[in-house]
Amino acid sequence: MAQPMSSTGTRAPFQWLALVIGAVYLLVGIAGFFVTGFDGFTEHDHDQTLLGFAINPLHNIVHLLIGILGLTMWSSPGRARTFGWLLVVGYGAAFIYGLFAVNNPDINFLNINVADNWLHILSVAAGLAIALWPRKHADTTTPGAQRQY
């Protein structure tokens, strides 16, 4: 069952951020298949790029999954914050993995390049923004006061 949006019926800014990130990752995952097709599932080929980011079909699937999570978890404050933490943990791990994998084709099954690593750090920062967005508490003495998230 969905949690209420807020006392005034609007979404919190961090929920909208989760939605936008989810939509972008979903679109990138779909667009990635137009570049890579479905062959070479874990191929390491930095010639297959989308806007400078190296991809392969497995990498596209990861983007699709992150996108679907964002689109399904943005709808309540608690779920959106959980999505933020998933971005922090998942893309934090992807960044660390990428530090080793970028120059090692034997372990680079996601076809990560340096641009991907920068995007992973940006995704961690976005996840922190979603997860740690300040909570506003309702002021019951003033009509129209701040919403509670």
pLDDT the model gives residue 136: 74
Tell which residue, 68, 66, 87, 77, has the closest CA to residue 133: 77
Mean pLDDT of 50-79: 95
Per residue in 13-61, pLDDT (tens digit) is 999 999 999 999 999 999 999 999 998 888 877 778 889 898 999 999 9
Asked whether the beta carbons of 126 and 87 are under 8 A apart, the reply is yes
Reported as a pLDDT band with limits 50, 70 and 90, residue 139 is very low
Query: What average pLDDT does the structure give for the chain?
Result: 87
pLDDT digits (tens, 9 = 90+) for 90-106: 999 999 999 999 999 99
In the three-class reduction of DSSP (H, G, I as helix; E, B as strand; rest coil), residue 106 is classed as coil
Alpha-carbon dihedral sign for residues 51, 113, 93, 121: negative
| Residue that wins the pLDDT comparison between 3 and 134 | 134
Percent of the chain topping pLDDT 90: 70
Contact 88, 132 (CB under 8 A): no
- Contact yes or no for 33/57 (Cβ under 8 A): yes
- Mean pLDDT on 118-122: 96
Q: Going by C-beta distance under 8 Å and a sequence separation of 6 or more, which residues neighbour residue 10?
A: 147
Give residues with Cβ within 8 angstroms of 40, minimum separation 6. Answer: 56, 57
Side-chain-facing half-sphere of 149: CA atoms under 13 Å: 22
Residue 126: strand, helix, or coil = helix
Rounded-to-10 torsion of CA 140, 141, 143, 146: -50
Q: Which two tokens stand for residue 64?
A: 């699709």
